[in-house]
Amino acid sequence: MNLNKALKVVAPIMIAALILFISGSYQATISQAENSEASSQSSVSYQPPSSSSESSQMQSSSATESSSSQSTQTKQKSSASASAPDKPLPLQPVAAPSGKCIVGYFPSWAYLNNYSPSDVDAAKLTHINYAFASISSDNKLVMNHPKTDIKNFEGLRKLKAKNSALKLLISVGGWDGSKNFSNAALTAQSRETFANSCINFIVTHKLDGIDLDWEYPVSGGFGGIINRPEDKQNFTKLIQAIRQKMQQQTKKDSKKYYLTIAGAPSSGYLKNIELTKILPYLDYIFLMGYDMHGPWDEFADFNAPLYTPQESSPQYSSSINDAVQTYLNAGAAASKLVLGMPFYGYRYEVTNNDNYGLYQTFSNGKSVAYSKIVTDYLDKYDKSEHPQAKVPYLFGNDTFITYDDENSIAMKVQLAKKLGLAGVGAWELSQDSQNTLLSSAYSNLF
């Protein structure tokens, strides 16, 4: 066979082989891209603690959607790059609350006070923070008491029937639950893991947001709390990572998600966070306007004085007004501060009856709910109100009790309004079982 005849025979065969090779490579690329996307969808799915039938329905729906998506992509012959994950949305600042807020913490242990979600006066609240979830050793948001928590979530969601504007947030951490915050905030990967788990959690349990109660960045708090100097910067990055995921979720379901933090009432706390950097990505800061003094001190003193007493005191002096001014002076927008108030007091067994027990040493001190103060002490002990601190106190049987009542709550709410704060809040609802203090806060705010 001469060369020309050979080329006529071989050339079509070579071209056909080349076409088959290219086509096979292309289809393999498409298949690989589709499998990658399906794998990505599977890796971020979160199975709620629901019935097996619900789980099966979710899995079946997910499989159908995945199959349909793959079929459509194959028909359109999309490129591998088209299935790559979307680029992160540019972080957008969050506006301050448009109306006044009343925030109440609902603790998982409320049942110990014979208090349940059905006892909450939902009409007088704008936000409820459920306390607490924690952070696992692998940097994920987890429930502390799943059986109790899920039951409480169900009860709290029912409150929206009474107040459709009510928002439900899961609060993470707390005094003895902040151990792993520093680890979760440490690296880009740990922040990504935690942020994803936050979104999965609130979507699964039909909540509206996350409240971060890290006690405390840099300085630590309760024994065993992990802390590092770089917590200051990492806290900012953690907040940004969560807000980023919230924006992405909003793009999917058009729902607004809330991100807040609980902040300590001290300049020391503010030195350990980047206040002006985190504030744009928060809906508000819940300023913990309490525990100015407590059983950790040497002398019996006021839990939450509105203003600083001017008389001589054997220990440091501070007040709620001072704390708010410290935040404002540090650059906080008043419209993003919620003033937290205590629905509890402290009871001290003092060793000296001078000054009705105020500023005296004590042998024992512990917290006491407002409801218990009313039932067990109010009619039995002498009541006074400090003219400068603007808070009441009781004295009797070598016992000094510092607390807040309807009048002192009203004055704190009036200060918040005067300073243009976003609103007020309380730790915590079960300690005011008759809703006496909550009603005072509500009537004076609106």
- Strand runs labelled E in 65-166: 101-107, 127-135, 141-143
Cis check for the bond before 132: say yes or no (omega within 30 of 0). yes
212-224: average pLDDT: 95
Does 81 score more than 80 pLDDT?
no
Which of 28-32, 92-96, 182-186, 313-317 has the least mean pLDDT?
Answer: 28-32
Q: What is the DSSP string of 158-213?
A: HGGGT-TT-EEEEEEEETTS-TTHHHHTSSHHHHHHHHHHHHHHHHHTT--EEEEE
Residue 413 has pLDDT above 50, yes or no: yes
Regarding predicted confidence, which is higher, 45 or 168?
168
Give the pLDDT confidence of 371-389 residue by residue, as tens digits: 999 999 999 999 999 999 9
Q: In terms of DSSP bridges, do strands 209-214 and 258-263 run parallel, antiparallel, or are they unpaired?
A: parallel
Q: What are phi and psi of 305, to 5 degrees?
A: -65, 135
Q: How far is CA 14 from CA 7, 9, 11, 297, in A?
A: 10, 9, 5, 90
Name the helix (H) or strand (E) containing 280: none
Residue 138 in this model has a pLDDT that exceeds 60: yes
Q: Which residue has the higher pLDDT, 92 or 37?
A: 92
Q: What are the pLDDT digits (tens) for 53-64?
A: 333 333 333 333
Q: Are 358 and 303 in contact (CB under 8 A)?
A: no
Strands 141-143 and 127-135, bridge-based pairing: antiparallel
C-alpha–C-alpha distance, residues 311 and 317, integer Å? 10
Catalytic residue of the set 37, 54, 65, 215: 215
What pLDDT, on the 0 to 100 scale, is given for residue 87?
61
Token look-up 């992990």 returns 226
pLDDT (tens digit per residue) in 230-264? 999 999 999 999 999 999 999 999 999 999 999 99
Percentages of the chain per state (helix, strand, coil), in multiples of 5: 45, 20, 35
How confident is the model over 26-44, as a mean pLDDT?
Answer: 34
Q: Is 215 a catalytic residue?
A: yes
Q: How many helices (H) and strands (E) does the chain have?
A: 12, 14
Sequence-distant (6+) residues with CB within 8 A of 258 are: 127, 167, 169, 208, 209, 210, 283
Residues 313-369 have pLDDT tens digits of 999 999 999 999 999 999 999 999 999 999 999 999 999 999 999 999 999 999 999
Name the residue type at position 411.
M
- DSSP summary character for residue 86: P
Is the CB of residue 274 less than 8 Å from the CB of residue 311?
no
Give the chain's mean pLDDT. 85
Q: 234: closest CA among 256, 212, 258?
A: 212
Q: Which pTM does this prediction carry?
A: 0.81
Residue 15 CB neighbour total at 10 angstroms: 10
Domains present along the chain, CATH in parentheses: 101-343+404-445 (3.20.20.80)
How far CA 440 is from CA of 98, 129, 271, 321, in Å, comes to 22, 20, 34, 19
Q: pLDDT-derived band of residue 201, with 50, 70 and 90 as boundaries?
A: very high
